[in-house]
């Protein structure tokens, strides 16, 4: 089982703790990005996963590659090309003060990569599962073309395609609306992951679900996901993350899934002292891909994905530094802490 994820990996410059920008003249400097985060999750669970991306050829990008190796991600399919290493600045919030992200990712190597710059045969060698998100096609016209190519190439090879719809309103600047592109891309997708807003903005389907209520409107979610499954016949299942955002420090977290056979609802976690919620959706995707490949039951897969991404909220950085064992302990236990000694 070999997994390939395709997308941008950026330098993440975060203020320490919950400091405001330049409260201290320092940034925590790590790396992150939706599909890279998924790859790291999968490597942490012991899976064979490669990241397909384009990076510039300089020592900072070299460090990025090394960091992926640290986690055991296969970096042999990473290309080097013109353009820069994308950056995002993160000012972490707390309580009523939300986190702020400032993107500086224009003209990144992946955004300026030409449509014919990827040798799909080499990229997909031995690959059984391909993962992409709605971020890659939002970066530039050429990145959009590469994205559409990628899913088609994967689909044609019989590779399972998963996609995190992942809508970012500050991207999509090159002239296309998300829904124009994502609805096409979805035709090649087998497994979709999304939240309420993603479905609405990426697929153009509106609903009146309010996740903030803290009570899952089971019927509404079933109806919405049924609608998606109806529209995209290739789609085998769709999973939805449900975040109740009480404050920057306190969220509820759960998920649901529709696999045409059944509609599943996960356990719900109350997370009162959030350490870092960036990358939680990606860690859900990583957990789901792992779960779908390790459990017979789709509910078990969903529960794994939700538990894994619940834990992500307690880990600083985009990458979900937990093992499958850590997730299983949460699944088996009650989420309380007995110091493990």
Q: Provide the annotated active-site residues.
A: 282
Q: Which is nearer to a second copy, 45 or 130 (CB)?
A: 45
> How distant is the alpha carbon of residue 40 from its chain centre?
11
Size of the site for a second copy (CB under 8 A): 85
State which of residues 1, 46, 76, 95 lies at the interface with a second copy (CB under 8 A). Answer: 95
Beta bridge partners of residue 227, listed in sequence order: none
Q: Which is nearer to a second copy, 52 or 327 (CB)?
A: 327
Query: Considering the complex, what minimum distance in angstroms separates the CB of residue 206 from a second copy?
Result: 18
Helix axes 34-44, 59-70, angle to 10 degrees: 40
Q: If binding is defined by CB under 8 A, does position 21 make contact with a second copy?
A: yes
Q: Which is nearer to a second copy, 263 or 269 (CB)?
A: 269
Question: Which positions from 130 through 149 interact with a second copy, judged by CB under 8 A?
Answer: none
Q: Which is nearer to a second copy, 30 or 128 (CB)?
A: 30
State which of residues 1, 19, 115, 122 lies at the interface with a second copy (CB under 8 A). Answer: 19
Cα–Cα separations (whole angstroms), residue 137 to 58, 93, 168, 175, 289: 25, 29, 11, 12, 21
Q: If binding is defined by CB under 8 A, does position 231 make contact with a second copy?
A: no
Q: Which is nearer to a second copy, 65 or 189 (CB)?
A: 65
CB 275 within 8 A of CB 316: yes
Q: If binding is defined by CB under 8 A, does position 106 make contact with a second copy?
A: yes
State which of residues 1, 46, 66, 76 lies at the interface with a second copy (CB under 8 A). Answer: 66
Cα–Cα separations (whole angstroms), residue 31 to 68, 90, 100, 234, 274: 9, 12, 17, 33, 20
Q: If binding is defined by CB under 8 A, does position 331 make contact with a second copy?
A: no
CB neighbour list of residue 256: distance below 8 Å, 6 or more residues apart: 216, 218, 221, 225, 239, 240, 242, 263, 264, 265, 266, 302
State which of residues 2, 48, 72, 176 lies at the interface with a second copy (CB under 8 A). Answer: 72
CB neighbour list of residue 87: distance below 8 Å, 6 or more residues apart: 10, 11, 12, 13, 103, 104, 105
Segment contacting a second copy by CB under 8 A, of 118-126, 145-153, 255-263, 321-329: 321-329
Question: Which positions from 196 through 215 interact with a second copy, judged by CB under 8 A?
Answer: 212
Query: Considering the complex, what minimum distance in angstroms separates the CB of residue 246 from a second copy?
Result: 6
> How distant is the alpha carbon of residue 188 from its chain centre?
18
Question: Which positions from 157 through 176 interact with a second copy, judged by CB under 8 A?
Answer: 168, 170
Q: Which is nearer to a second copy, 127 or 330 (CB)?
A: 330
Query: Considering the complex, what minimum distance in angstroms separates the CB of residue 204 from a second copy?
Result: 21
Q: If binding is defined by CB under 8 A, does position 310 make contact with a second copy?
A: yes
Q: Which is nearer to a second copy, 63 or 183 (CB)?
A: 63
CB neighbour list of residue 148: distance below 8 Å, 6 or more residues apart: 137, 181, 184, 185
Q: If binding is defined by CB under 8 A, does position 104 make contact with a second copy?
A: yes
Segment contacting a second copy by CB under 8 A, of 14-22, 45-53, 198-206, 215-223: 14-22
Counting every residue written for the chain, the total comes to 341
3 state SS of 216:
coil
> Whole-angstrom Cα distance, residue 46 to residue 157?
24
3 state SS of 297:
coil
Q: If binding is defined by CB under 8 A, does position 35 make contact with a second copy?
A: no
Segment contacting a second copy by CB under 8 A, of 121-129, 216-224, 289-297, 306-314: 306-314
| Buried-state track 114-133, b at ≥16 Cβ within 10 A, e below 16 | eeeebebeebbeebbbbbbb
Q: If binding is defined by CB under 8 A, does position 41 make contact with a second copy?
A: no
State which of residues 87, 220, 223, 299 lies at the interface with a second copy (CB under 8 A). Answer: 87
Q: If binding is defined by CB under 8 A, does position 54 make contact with a second copy?
A: no
């Amino acid at each position: 089982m070999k997994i390939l994820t395709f997308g941008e990996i950026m330098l993440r410059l975060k203020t320490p703790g919950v400091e405001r920008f330049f409260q201290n003249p320092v940034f925590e400097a790590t790396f992150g990005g939706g599909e890279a985060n998924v790859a790291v999750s999968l490597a942490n669970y012991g899976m064979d996963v490669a990241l397909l991306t384009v990076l510039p050829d300089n020592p900072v990008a070299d460090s990025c590659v090394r960091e992926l190796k640290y986690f055991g991600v296969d970096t042999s399919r990473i290309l080097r090309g013109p353009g820069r290493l994308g950056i995002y600045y993160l000012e972490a919030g707390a309580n009523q003060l939300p986190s702020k992200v400032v993107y500086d990712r224009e003209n990144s190597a992946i955004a300026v990569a030409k449509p014919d710059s990827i040798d799909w045969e080499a990229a997909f060698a031995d690959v059984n599962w391909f993962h992409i998100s709605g971020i890659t096609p939002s970066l530039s016209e050429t990145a959009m073309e590469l994205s559409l190519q990628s899913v088609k190439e994967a689909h044609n090879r019989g590779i399972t395609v998963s996609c995190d719809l992942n809508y970012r309103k500050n991207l999509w600047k090159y002239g296309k609306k998300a829904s124009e592109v994502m609805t096409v891309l979805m035709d090649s997708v087998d497994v979709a992951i999304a939240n309420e807003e993603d479905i609405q903005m990426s697929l153009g389907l509106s609903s009146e679900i309010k996740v903030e209520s803290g009570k899952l409107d089971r019927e509404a979610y079933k109806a919405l996901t049924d609608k998606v499954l109806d529209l995209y016949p290739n789609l085998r299942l769709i999973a939805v993350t449900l975040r109740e955002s009480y404050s920057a420090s306190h969220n509820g977290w759960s998920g649901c899934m529709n696999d045409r056979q059944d509609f599943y609802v996960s356990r719900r976690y109350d997370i009162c002292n959030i350490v870092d919620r960036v990358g939680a959706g990606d860690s859900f995707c990583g957990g789901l891909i792992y779960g779908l490949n390790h459990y017979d039951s789709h509910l078990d897969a969903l529960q794994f994905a939700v538990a894994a991404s619940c834990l992500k909220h307690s880990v600083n950085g985009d990458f979900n530094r937990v093992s499958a064992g850590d997730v299983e302990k949460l699944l088996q236990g009650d989420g309380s802490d007995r110091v493990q000694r």
